[in-house]
């Protein structure tokens, strides 16, 4: 019997025109932040699509759709042949280009798949979502689909696609971090990024009497540039932190769309440590880092309701206990809740790149032109409540508490390493901060094999760095240890002895290792604690393995 299947493709692509550090694909276009493909029993293009994650469901209502008849090259022969595209879903930026069945006799070069789906990225500084529904009459138990991003080569620094592998999960929700793995055949060639996936279709169900019921339903597959971290999971983490005795969760202020900027404070130590995450909302590995840090520091487990007292924090280890006695921690798990909820890559609700909003800076050319006509000055004021309340509120609280140690946690598309971009370009950089940087990294490397100290962004000369970048501004403002911790979108090439390029050493970077990286930062913070405000030449007593290494972006 001919059975009808439907392959549903939900594509989330992101772009940004904001300037950034390092090799970033996001200046022009960017490959998916999240992308899903599934077979489904629903045939209505106007129906809602529901993803249920831990802590409740998240409904993406459908919006206006435009229907496109299949091209003449697409051999689809069911009355349901229709492609429905919607951008009313949560996150993403992209548009359907074409889809065609592969004829083994006439498409010899592409006979390794049954269907080719082509997509284009739109040059939009924000995100929208593409929902494609492709109805196919198909006799096989599976269909092998090749997904092609046709204009990947138009992305800024498109060469960073080399060596990248797409994430895929077959879990019922893309927000379960445990089911993600890399595809084995992602390739970038002639400006196109592609990979294949086999969609399995189980036998038709029946009512017990041998009568087929409805359409066959296949197993959903979600694809992602890096596994997503839902706003619901963030709220669940905050809720668990609130249950911990001695932990204070406060709102530093509200975002432009009215979301709370949550800050988790804990510990009673004499040194103040701030760690912030997700300034760039598309860099979801930062949220997994925050989760690992907080679950260890507070002794909770976001995935386990029986964590030793319902989230009361009874599972504290020795290092976490020491860290709480050395430091008073202020952890902001998500500085940019609007961008995260809206699905943006690098900006908040009004398009501000928060990591350029930490002090006034020379105005961009377009702003200079506007202010010249108005008789103003050539300065861009930041942070402001109108454009960047997230940075404004965090910085105001930092001024109140002071800062002795600071980390800003990010993700980098180009470099396949975990690395620390330091404050070398600030006016306060000297032997003291240099040795704190080297000592922190060396200790971190010893307790986590994903950390290395040889590869990073090429350092700026002292006094030549951008002061409006968060970690630079904090170093200048508080004369303290400060850095931007970057994690890769690609497989991680680092190990405890430096750089490793073996396939076995590279495999496995994803949410769980990002969580472990967040948990293990406590050892490094405890190690540098005695030296944070030491005015003497403490470096003379440090072991050689703690020496600062001048990094390079070449590897």
pLDDT tens digit sequence for 452-471: 999 999 999 999 999 999 99
Residues near 298 by Cβ (< 8 Å), separated by ≥ 6?
A: 240, 241, 244, 247, 266, 313, 316, 320
Question: Would residue 486 show up in a list of annotated catalytic residues for this protein?
Answer: yes
215 versus 436: the higher-pLDDT residue is 436
How many CB atoms within 10 Å of residue 235? 17
Weakest mean pLDDT among 106-115, 177-186, 367-376, 485-494? 367-376
Which of the following is catalytic: 486, 503, 512, 540?
A: 486
Report the mean per-residue pLDDT for the chain: 77
Question: Do the bridges between strand 56-60 and strand 49-53 make them parallel or antiparallel, or are there none, so unpaired?
Answer: antiparallel
Give the pLDDT mean for 174-195.
90
| Distance from C-alpha of 513 to C-alpha of 460, rounded to nearest angstrom | 30
Give the pLDDT mean for 70-83.
34
Task: Give the closest residue to 136 by CA, choosing from 202, 71, 67, 39.
Answer: 39
Give the per-residue pLDDT at 153: 86
334 versus 11: the higher-pLDDT residue is 334
Give the pLDDT mean for 73-102.
49
Weakest mean pLDDT among 138-142, 327-331, 412-416? 138-142
Task: Give the closest residue to 494 by CA, choosing from 437, 435, 420, 544.
Answer: 420
Most confident of 66-75, 112-121, 147-156, 402-411: 402-411
Task: Give the closest residue to 515 by CA, choosing from 242, 178, 222, 290.
Answer: 290
Give the pLDDT mean for 200-212.
55
Give the pLDDT mean for 365-369.
60
| Distance from C-alpha of 141 to C-alpha of 5, rounded to nearest angstrom | 10
Residues near 497 by Cβ (< 8 Å), separated by ≥ 6?
A: none
Q: Please check the confidence at residue 31 and state whether its pLDDT lies above 50.
A: no
Give phi and psi for 285, each to the nearest 5: -60, -25
Most confident of 64-68, 308-312, 427-431: 427-431
What structural domains does the chain harbor? 3-224 (2.60.40.3120), 231-351+385-546 (3.40.630.10)
Label residue 17 by pLDDT band (50, 70, 90): very low
| Distance from C-alpha of 194 to C-alpha of 146, rounded to nearest angstrom | 7
Label residue 500 by pLDDT band (50, 70, 90): low
Give the per-residue pLDDT at 84: 37
How many CB atoms within 10 Å of residue 442? 22
Give phi and psi for 458, each to the nearest 5: -65, 125
Give the pLDDT mean for 272-299.
97
The reported pTM is: 0.80
199 versus 110: the higher-pLDDT residue is 199
Label residue 10 by pLDDT band (50, 70, 90): very low
- R_g of the chain, CA atoms, integer Å: 25
Q: Please check the confidence at residue 14 and state whether its pLDDT lies above 90.
A: no
Give the pLDDT mean for 136-160.
74
Give the pLDDT mean for 101-118.
70
Task: Give the closest residue to 352 by CA, choosing from 325, 323, 385, 319.
Answer: 385
Torsion sign over Cα 432, 356, 30, 262: positive
Give the per-residue pLDDT at 174: 79
Q: Please check the confidence at residue 204 and state whether its pLDDT lies above 60.
A: no
Label residue 160 by pLDDT band (50, 70, 90): confident
Label residue 387 by pLDDT band (50, 70, 90): very high
Weakest mean pLDDT among 4-13, 87-96, 311-320, 541-550? 4-13
Give the pLDDT mean for 323-340.
97
Q: Please check the confidence at residue 50 and state whether its pLDDT lies above 50.
A: no
86 versus 520: the higher-pLDDT residue is 520
| Distance from C-alpha of 3 to C-alpha of 5, rounded to nearest angstrom | 7
Weakest mean pLDDT among 204-208, 278-282, 330-334, 532-536? 204-208
Q: Please check the confidence at residue 304 and state whether its pLDDT lies above 80.
A: no
Most confident of 91-105, 266-280, 336-350: 266-280
Q: Please check the confidence at residue 129 and state whether its pLDDT lies above 70.
A: no
pLDDT digits (tens, 9 = 90+) for 240-282: 999 999 999 999 999 999 999 999 999 999 999 999 999 999 8
Q: How many residues comprise the chain?
A: 555
């Amino acid at each position: 019997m001919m059975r009808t299947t439907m392959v549903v493709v939900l594509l989330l692509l992101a772009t940004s025109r904001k300037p950034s550090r390092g090799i970033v694909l996001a200046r022009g276009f960017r490959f998916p932040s999240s992308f899903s493909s599934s077979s489904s029993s629903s045939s209505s293009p106007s129906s809602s699509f529901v993803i249920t994650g831990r802590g409740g469901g998240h409904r993406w209502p459908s919006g206006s759709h435009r229907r496109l008849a299949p091209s003449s090259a697409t051999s689809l022969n069911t009355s349901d042949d229709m492609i429905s595209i919607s951008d009313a879903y949560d996150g993403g930026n992209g548009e359907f280009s074409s889809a065609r069945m592969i004829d083994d006799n006439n498409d010899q070069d592409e006979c390794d798949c049954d269907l080719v789906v082509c997509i284009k990225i739109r040059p939009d500084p924000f995100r929208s979502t593409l929902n494609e529904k492709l109805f196919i009459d198909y006799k096989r138990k599976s269909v092998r689909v090749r997904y092609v991003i046709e204009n990947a080569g138009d992305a800024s620094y498109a060469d960073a696609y080399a060596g990248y592998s797409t994430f895929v999960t077959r879990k019922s929700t893309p927000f379960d971090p445990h089911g993600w793995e890399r595809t084995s055949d992602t390739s970038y060639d002639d400006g196109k990024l592609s990979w294949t996936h086999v969609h399995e279709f189980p036998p038709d169900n029946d009512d017990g009497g041998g009568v087929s019921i409805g359409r066959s339903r296949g197993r959903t597959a979600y694809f992602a540039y890096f596994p997503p971290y839902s706003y619901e999971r963030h709220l669940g983490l905050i809720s668990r932190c609130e249950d911990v005795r001695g932990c204070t969760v406060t709102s530093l202020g509200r975002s432009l769309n009215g979301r709370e900027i949550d800050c988790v404070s804990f510990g009673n130590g004499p040194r103040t440590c701030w760690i912030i995450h997700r300034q760039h909302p598309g860099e979801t590995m930062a949220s997994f880092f925050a989760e690992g840090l907080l679950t260890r520091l507070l002794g909770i487990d976001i995935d386990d309701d029986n964590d030793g007292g319902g989230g009361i924090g009874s599972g504290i280890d020795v290092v976490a206990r020491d860290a709480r006695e050395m430091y008073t921690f202020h952890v902001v798990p998500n500085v940019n809740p609007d961008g995260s909820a809206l699905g943006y890559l690098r900006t908040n609700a009004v398009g501000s790149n928060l990591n350029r909003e930490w002090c006034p800076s020379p105005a961009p050319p377009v702003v200079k032109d506007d202010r010249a006509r108005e008789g103003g000055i050539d300065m861009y004021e930041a942070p402001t409540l109108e454009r960047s309340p997230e940075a404004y509120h965090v910085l105001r609280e930092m001024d109140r508490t002071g800062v002795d140690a600071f980390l800003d946690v990010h993700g980098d598309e180009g470099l396949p390493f975990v690395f620390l971009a330091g404050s070398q370009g600030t006016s306060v950089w000297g032997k003291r901060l240099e040795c704190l940087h080297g000592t922190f990294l060396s200790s971190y490397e010893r307790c986590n094999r994903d950390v290395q100290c040889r590869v990073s962004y090429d350092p700026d000369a002292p006094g030549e760095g951008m002061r409006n970048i968060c970690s630079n501004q904090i170093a200048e403002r508080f004369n303290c240890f400060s850095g931007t911790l970057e994690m890769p979108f690609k497989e991680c090439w680092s190990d405890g002895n430096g750089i490793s390029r073996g396939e076995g050493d590279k495999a496995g970077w994803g949410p769980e290792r990002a969580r472990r990286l967040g948990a293990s930062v406590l050892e490094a913070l405890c190690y540098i604690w005695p030296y944070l405000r030491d005015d003497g030449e403490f470096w003379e007593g440090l072991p050689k393995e703690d020496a600062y290494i001048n990094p390079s972006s070449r590897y």
